Structure 1
């Protein structure tokens, strides 16, 4: 081949490769008309969905999620929960037995699809548990749109997990993951994850939803209410507009969200306040002596939104609603469903801060949480710990908000049942192992990154990550690209160890020898995850002197940290078991010496990390 043709071939191949690997995301627009039979906990639904294929692929089939089909005896969720025994999700069990197995027939969840059409043509579809596979009449070509129309009815299930009727605090309807929702399609293909009770994923979408329901109900939702003067609860000047069946229609809209969720109850009170430089916040709850802490929580929630805006990035939607409903807490677009009868302000705020924090992770950053729950749950837990530490400073002063999480991780590791965080959310065999892998290991992923690269670099990384990837669907690879760019370090080794394995960190002080003018220390790596080491001494005159022992795999060393200046020593090769160094202080000058005075390192055995010099 001559050189000219070779150059042309290389250019064309490069262009094709760039196109194939370019980022894209699908988009949907939902127009729904919902007619609710509140007495029987059912509804009739009509939906028009405009779907845009921004991928380079021609789509011949599409998939929809039908989550409520899981809420019945014999479903895959029931089978999974029943098969796990006491190792499963306690909210889905009673005495180790699946609660789904005993759902009365008339309270089983159901989404009955009557028909679906594409541009007016009837389509063939197949229901596979919580997934509906639809054969298209006309393939959707790249960079083109198509319109689906659909008619269905649904039964609001017995409240078992998140969605359902008559929750334990007396909320009539929590209506979440409730409509036929088109699945996400990206470089990894269709995200057709069966619903077994854990995480979700979806393309960004616009919503225009009309909910017709008995006029005595108040509806709370994640979105903008377009007709507050025609319905109950949102405006004192409202003149409720009803049809011949005494039903009012609630008109909600939302843009660029993953889902639309709502709840309805006859006894809801609606309150609101506006956060300076933040969203308008709505409280939709049963106001009583049991929920009196909601009023007290308002100034704390104001601080929460302001702190998140400052430390991560600005909240992008116009409002956010805290709605009493569901079980525990669960995040959705512009709202969360939470149990509201708090016994302590800190407990209620912890739930509100965590679920509200998901707005930045699950909703705005929109990770594929079915594949990477550790990014959504873990990063949300990180900011929860950080902000709760500021809202409720501990009585025992500590600069580290993550001590509790680290101690919980150490205690769990001793049980020997840890599972890798890389596993899909619904595929963990043990409920506790899922929680640690997703919440704890995900939170500590960022804590360890701060320890390795310095807290200033971590903060810069997370802000740039947010600004670059908000309202998209980033992966851990995208985060690591920015972390490595900001720090200059190679960090792939850390992600591999922390996320893909259950190996642990365990460094210790093996030997200390004192001379007239110096002290020689030998450290040992008893663990299976290599790390750089921060080592410090506390002198007799209460001065802290810090040293950094870099890990050779990072190739660039930490240059600063908020926990004080330090002297950088020679690097420690990751293959080397022991490391010896000498510091210019003798025994009479040292009070305490040890590893990680900042208490950030996820070392599973702290017993050999400190030496008190007597």
Structure 2
């Protein structure tokens, strides 16, 4: 479907303008890429010409710039190769090696015609050749003249690349037979923000990029069908399902086609290609969803069914996490599991419908928590993966009727408890590449990160959290927020102080463990003595069930909150007690009934508090 570049930009400006009054004032660098690429499907190599307009909107003078050369990671003895093999030497408590099963030692065994590389042939800035050097996956450019604050400069680059045999995310001939998964395929400017440059080596993990506009032409064998980021500008020449209904496709003579895409306000550009892609579309509220997959006995049924599920999913996503601002999104079979990119994702697609749907919803939710909000994933992987996992579980739960009655976040809590029990936990503030184990990184980022959000609902009230997530979207999209920015949104929404929650749960590995120490009668009323056993303080929901079946919520705020969460269950009487200071290990609760009328007491019956030992959370009387 053709979408004009100016029209897409206007849409984004209108959407941004609607909430401009709420946008924090943080400067952002800006880029504009114009690329012309020639892909040789016989040699698996490409040649490209790149014009990069770079807008230094910072108050700083830049004396050098950095580019990512991601595919250089797919060479024997690269940082990614050595890191993977070293982690593989670690034996986990379950007896398994700590491999990333997709990488293992595969890079070390790549032959010269199987490796990946990106080579810079020439680089000019404003027409002048520049001095540069390559250090693994980073290109460092020593500028002949500095880039002044609030100024623009233009870099022109010729480059060539070899597509690696698929190992991780990008590459050729993946496990499901897709010819080309083209992510991290071009020299990409590193991000410069209020913390300085981020020339992060590609070792395994996450990404960070500069928002801008892309104008990309890809010339390739005309048998190939492409999908990816951006709006196709010449569908009448391309066809393959992109042409308007009833339109006549007039492909130019010759053996190649040039696909012309534009993408406004994105921080990366991905594409995939295969001559056997089946391409179908689904109209969703305000945009077109594209689906490209290899048709077989399984996918012939699952992918069209999946396409029909997307409108219902989006209706729930829009209401809870904010609207999708672009005019298309592409779900593409490719890559090595699932990986998110602007306006599209690469996902494995040969499995059952339930698995395909869950994987696709996870990758699509990255559009909100990485493509639009764009935290630095290397520094805050849990703010991307954890928030995405939380949202994915909610979307799947609320759009698959057979899941009703289950706890959508039980898997994340179980993952966190496994992490703690295995002794692999490190603070979530650990840089993504610096975790001691792959297992520790994954469980911390995905599971504990999701627990962070669900448990936050326990602290401030689920309704406050959900309103805060929408507020976070509108205030911080396209702004690269950090953890402090997120916490301030939640503090403003709830009216509570939350620095303690961030400090304990993000920056330390202290655990939550509360218990009911004893139950006795004093002056004719039952008194429960609670004990904080773990190192992390929390507010407490204590539910009393009387012998006649009545339930009463005894709520004990934490003094560090300087307030109370709103009552969440209107069907239950709530009694709010004096604040519990984190310095005090015990607390006595007067229950307002005689001991003889107490049937049971339970700390956190909602199971939202990540208490590592719930055996002492319940006390029942004889």
TM range (shorter): over 0.9
Unpaired stretches in structure 2, ≥5 consecutive residues: 1-23, 91-97
Matching residue within 219, 227, 249 for 1:239: 249
Matching residue within 287, 295, 301 for 2:310: 301
1:30-41 to 2 correspondences below 5 Å? 30-41=33-44
1-side partners of 2:402 and 2:576: how far apart? 32
2-side partners of 1:503 and 1:240: how far apart? 65
> Offset at 1:473?
0.9
Q: In the TM superposition, what whole-angstrom CA distance separates every residue of 1:418-462 from its partner, at most 9, and x where no partner exists?
A: 111101111111011001211112111111211111111111211
Q: 1:439: which partner in 2? A: 446
SS at match of 1:138: strand
Structure 2 vs 1, CA of residues 395 and 231 (structure 1 numbering), >3 Å: closer, same or farther? Answer: closer
1-side partners of 2:598 and 2:355: how far apart? 42
Q: 2:10: which partner in 1? A: none
Q: 2:621: which partner in 1? A: 613
Q: In the TM superposition, what whole-angstrom CA distance separates every residue of 1:296-321 from its partner, at most 9, and x where no partner exists?
A: 12232212211111001111111110
Answer yes or no: is 1:79 the counterpart of 2:87.
Answer: no
Residue 26 of structure 2 contacts residue 479 of structure 2 at CA under 8 Å; is this kept in 1? no
1-side partners of 2:42 and 2:427: how far apart? 46
> Offset at 1:551?
0.7
1:419-458 to 2 correspondences below 5 Å? 419-458=426-465
1-side partners of 2:111 and 2:175: how far apart? 17
> With structure 2 as the length reference, what TM-score do the two structures score?
0.91
SS at match of 2:535: coil
Residue 91 of structure 1 contacts residue 161 of structure 1 at CA under 8 Å; is this kept in 2? no
Matching residue within 75, 100, 103 for 2:107: 100
SS at match of 1:105: coil
Unpaired stretches in structure 1, ≥5 consecutive residues: 1-20
SS at match of 2:298: helix
Q: In the TM superposition, what whole-angstrom CA distance separates every residue of 1:319-338 from its partner, at most 9, and x where no partner exists?
A: 11000000000000000000
Q: In the TM superposition, what whole-angstrom CA distance separates every residue of 1:11-52 from its partner, at most 9, and x where no partner exists?
A: xxxxxxxxxx96200000000001000111111100111010
Structure 2 vs 1, CA of residues 243 and 60 (structure 1 numbering), >3 Å: closer, same or farther? Answer: farther
Structure 2 vs 1, CA of residues 460 and 396 (structure 1 numbering), >3 Å: closer, same or farther? Answer: closer
Answer yes or no: is 1:43 the counterpart of 2:43.
Answer: no
SS at match of 1:573: coil
Matching residue within 212, 231, 234 for 1:205: 212
> Offset at 1:394?
5.8
2-side partners of 1:420 and 1:368: how far apart? 16
Residue 242 of structure 1 contacts residue 249 of structure 1 at CA under 8 Å; is this kept in 2? no
Q: 2:226: which partner in 1? A: 219
Q: 1:162: which partner in 2? A: 169
Structure 2 vs 1, CA of residues 467 and 597 (structure 1 numbering), >3 Å: closer, same or farther? Answer: same
Structure 2 vs 1, CA of residues 264 and 93 (structure 1 numbering), >3 Å: closer, same or farther? Answer: closer
> Offset at 1:241?
2.2
Q: 2:27: which partner in 1? A: 24
Q: In the TM superposition, what whole-angstrom CA distance separates every residue of 1:213-269 from its partner, at most 9, and x where no partner exists?
A: 00000001121111112114123745352454x100101010000100000000001
> Offset at 1:589?
3.7
Decide which moves more: 551-560 or 58-67: 551-560
SS at match of 1:145: strand
SS at match of 1:410: helix
Q: 2:513: which partner in 1? A: 506
2-side partners of 1:587 and 1:279: how far apart? 61
1:90-489 to 2 correspondences below 5 Å? 90-94=100-104, 98-234=105-241, 235=243, 237-242=247-252, 244=254, 246-276=255-285, 278-291=286-299, 292-343=301-352, 345-393=353-401, 397-398=405-406, 400-489=407-496
1-side partners of 2:403 and 2:233: how far apart? 46
Number of equivalent positions: 587
2-side partners of 1:355 and 1:212: how far apart? 28
1-side partners of 2:404 and 2:282: how far apart? 33
> Offset at 1:58?
1.0
1-side partners of 2:30 and 2:253: how far apart? 34
Residue 36 of structure 1 contacts residue 213 of structure 1 at CA under 8 Å; is this kept in 2? yes
Residue 441 of structure 1 contacts residue 498 of structure 1 at CA under 8 Å; is this kept in 2? no
Decide which moves more: 99-108 or 322-331: 99-108
Q: 2:6: which partner in 1? A: none
2-side partners of 1:255 and 1:91: how far apart? 35
Root-mean-square deviation (CA, aligned residues, Å) is 1.8
1-side partners of 2:319 and 2:403: how far apart? 25
Q: 2:69: which partner in 1? A: 66
> With structure 1 as the length reference, what TM-score do the two structures score?
0.93
> Offset at 1:587?
4.9
1-side partners of 2:530 and 2:311: how far apart? 46
Answer yes or no: is 1:574 the counterpart of 2:558.
Answer: no
